A and B are shown apart, each in its own frame.
Chain A
Amino acid sequence: MLRDAMDQAKLAGATLHNFHGGLQLRHNKRISCELPIERAAPAERFYVPLLQQSGQEAQPIVAAGQHVLKGEAIGCVEHLGSGYLHAPTSGTVSAIGTHPISHPSGFDGRCVVIEPDGLNQWTELHPVDNWQQADPDVLRQAIRSAGIVGLGGAVFPTAHKVDEASRRGIHTLILNGAECEPYISCDEMLMREQPASIILGARILQRAVGARRTVIAIEDQMGAVHQALQHALRESAAAEIDIVKVTTIYPEGGEKQLIQVLTGLEVPSGGRPTDLGLLCQNVATATAVARAVTEGKPLVERIVTVTGSGVRRPRNLLTPIGTPISVLVEQSGGYADDAARLVLGGPMMGYALASDDNPVIKAANCILVLSSDEIRPPQPEMPCIRCGECARVCPAVLQPQQLQWTVRHGLWDETVSAGLADCIECGCCDFVCPSHIPLVEWFRHGKSELRRLEAERLAADSARQRFEAREARLDRLKQDRRRRMEEKKRALGDGQEKQKRIADAIERARSRRQENP
């Protein structure tokens, strides 16, 4: 079965398929595509959060007062194949302190604060010579030390994904240029302005994981992009890369949905695209890989879309990580009068931030300022009437209305079997729900609650094991002691011999005492 699926997956992009559900949303991308990408204005101070990739917080490896150069490692993560954080500019580390970190919790976290010296001077760079001949291991090592994470928003460490892919062996690399969410245009602008670097990144990634071909998926509404990529493709003379236009239906840019559109296959529940011999990467990640390998530059900046009718001049800005969001908004003409929400990410999946003090992080593909007439008006939640609209739009073919019910009542076993883990939190169900039930919020709550319960269960299991091991050990010690006692007793023998030996021993002790009193 899986073999058939593998063969089918090899034809990725040859014919297009549909996925279940989805929504046709207002595109709203053009407003931020009118101005070319520009470098963000230098910030007065950079706040680089130590928690950036999914998983654990990095450990700082610089101290306050230390001078750092642009691209120097300032943090190290020992999680999922380890990774690094790098200084976005040259300057002095003024503190490692708490600051807003653009996290969905809204909590503050530890940041490396850098006062720039204005020189923006790179540290010593180590590009890979002649990547065409380089060992794939070397390429993957370059990706790891550049601290590259998935720039589509999931911020999963690319090195980990690439390692897994090369270990398991894949045949096709999919570059995801289909930004599914409305408003976000950073990938579209990137593909339009730097198509060559994407093609380069695709070829490097392909070599790093041993894939035979690459499919670059773009949306059918991105006209200029297709030409730009085609042109770059001809220039590079790479034969094994295809560009495929997919229909713009939210959320076709989701990894699993995109794979279904391209191959007609479903990534197995709980599995990875590698199960089908596929690796999916964002186009921006590919350019980051190209820069890391050919120039030796780590991931210290990314393109951020600043958009929404809450800003006066929506645009895309090439922004160093750690730049406060206020700087970007300023450069985009400032807030409009009716700005009402500051969202990191898109309108469907992004999370609202409490202030523009929050810094740009690696995951920040979009700063969306929504005006009061764009956001959903606050409406009271009504009871579910089981209209089934949520199930009709769910790309994961779940029953959100049932799932919501099990989560709400804490029926965790049922929640698991109803497939909460398969929910991709795309927000389609929430969008259409006529009763205004905050479905996605419930699902996020449920997921983190399940994670907590699982951790607790593991801790309890471990405690049980350790307790039982200790009991067994104590028991063994007791038995050992008893056995030794018995052996000694046996060695004494019985009856007269025993009496004699005791008498001998007493005699020996007495004579020794007499010799040296």
Chain B
Amino acid sequence: MFTAVILFTVLGSLLGLGLGWAAQKFRVETDPVVDRIDALLPQTQCGQCDYPGCRPYAEAIASGEAPINQCPPGGEAGVRALADLLGLEPLPLNPDNGQEQPRRVAVIDESACIGCTLCIQACPVDAILGAAKRMHTVIEAECTGCDLCLPPCPVDCIAMVPRQSPWVWPQPGQNARLAASANVRTAQAGGG
């Protein structure tokens, strides 16, 4: 009886030490949860989620204040990723916040621009260049397509156009487009 107690005490403390050592040795360093949520958000900074940017929304999610379905640019895939991270059920996108749509980029009609700088002040990522009474232009690479420059423009000279996405090798079996176009083109070549 006594030996058993001693045995198990020793065994227990040894195993405990071992576990403690392992926890130290194999500890996985992780970012704070806000950073990890922020990393999943699309960084459009559009404010459609009712927060003034992606980071504030990430903070709101982390504190449990906001649901995960308020980010239309992130879309359903974004909601799923957030749900995975936080161990929640994926929700459908909240339609009050807007619709998911392809990525876009703002283009300023430079002949109509009056140089009022209002859009420059509205842009959350400083992607519009220009000065007062001078023509403005959008840095295409930096534009997130957030639409925030549209409302302040007094002459409605900004348009959102779909962003040209780079060509992605299609999945096998989804090459039908190629085959179809091929036949059309050979038919033309044959005729000419």
Contacts and interface: CB of A to CB of B under 8 A. Distances in A.
A318 B96 CA distance: 64
Nearest to B127: A466
Interface in B51-78: 53-55
Contact of A466 (B38, B125, B173, B175): B125
B42 A449 contact: no
Interface in B109-142: 124-127, 141-142
Contacts of A451: 166
Contacts of A459: 43, 141, 144
A240 to B, nearest CB: 42
B126 A445 contact: no
Contacts of A460: 41-43
A59 B14 CA distance: 71
B189 interface: yes
Contact of A442 (B41, B42, B171, B185): B171
Contact of A470 (B125, B166, B175, B182): B125
Interface in B154-179: 165-173, 175, 178
A354 B169 contact: no
B13 interface: no
A471 interface: yes
A468 B44 CA distance: 12
B139 to A, nearest CB: 10
* Best-buried of B141, B144, B165, B172 by chain A (most CB within 10 Å): B172
B30 interface: no
A392 interface: no
Those 9 A-B pairs whose CB atoms lie nearest each other, nearest first: A354-B182, A463-B43, A460-B43, A466-B125, A438-B172, A441-B172, A444-B169, A448-B169, A448-B168
Contacts of B142: 462-463, 466
Given A100-B185, A354-B186, A449-B168, A468 B55 contact: yes
B72 to A, nearest CB: 15
Given A445-B172, A464-B43, A470 B54 contact: no
Nearest to A462: B142
* Best-buried of A354, A469, A471 by chain B (most CB within 10 Å): A354
A76 B166 CA distance: 21
Contacts of B124: 467, 470
B126 A354 contact: no
B185 A355 contact: yes
A467 B43 contact: yes
A496 interface: no
- Indicate the size class of the contact surface on chain A: 20 to 34
B181 A106 contact: yes
A452 B178 CA distance: 20
A471 B186 CA distance: 56
A324 to B, nearest CB: 10
A445 B166 contact: no
A130 interface: no
B45 interface: yes
Contacts of A466: 125-127, 142
A407 B189 CA distance: 37
A402 B55 CA distance: 37
Contact of A467 (B45, B172, B185, B189): B45
A464 B126 CA distance: 11
Nearest to A463: B43
B186 A355 contact: yes
A455 B166 contact: yes
B126 A470 contact: yes
Contacts of A163: none
Given A460-B43, A463-B44, A463-B125, A355 B172 contact: no
Given A354-B186, A459-B43, A463-B45, 20 more contacts: A106-B178, A354-B182, A355-B185, A438-B173, A442-B172, A444-B169, A445-B168, A448-B169, A452-B165, A455-B166, A462-B142, A463-B142, A463-B144, A464-B38, A464-B54, A466-B126, A467-B43, A467-B45, A467-B53, A467-B55
Contacts of B43: 459-461, 463-464, 467
A177 to B, nearest CB: 30
A356 interface: yes
A15 interface: no
* Best-buried of B45, B169, B171 by chain A (most CB within 10 Å): B169
Contacts of B175: 441
Nearest to A442: B172
B126 A356 contact: no
Contacts of B166: 448, 451-452, 455
B141 to A, nearest CB: 8
Contacts of B171: 441-442, 445
Given A464-B54, A467-B55, A467-B124, A441 B169 contact: yes
Contact of A354 (B41, B44, B181): B181
A467 B125 contact: yes
A445 B125 contact: no
B168 A357 contact: no
Nearest to B189: A355
B38 to A, nearest CB: 7
A444 B175 CA distance: 13
28 contacts: A105-B167, A106-B178, A106-B181, A106-B182, A107-B167, A354-B181, A355-B185, A355-B189, A357-B185, A357-B189, A438-B172, A441-B171, A445-B169, A445-B171, A445-B172, A448-B167, A448-B168, A449-B168, A452-B165, A452-B168, A459-B144, A463-B45, A463-B125, A464-B55, A466-B125, A466-B127, A466-B142, A471-B53
Contacts of B189: 355-357
Nearest to A447: B169
Interface in A349-363: 354-357
Contacts of A438: 172-173
Contacts of B168: 445, 448-449, 452
Nearest to A451: B166
Given A449-B168, A452-B166, A466-B126, A354 B144 contact: no
Contacts of A469: 126
Contacts of B181: 106, 354
A126 B9 CA distance: 89
Interface in A460-482: 460-464, 466-471
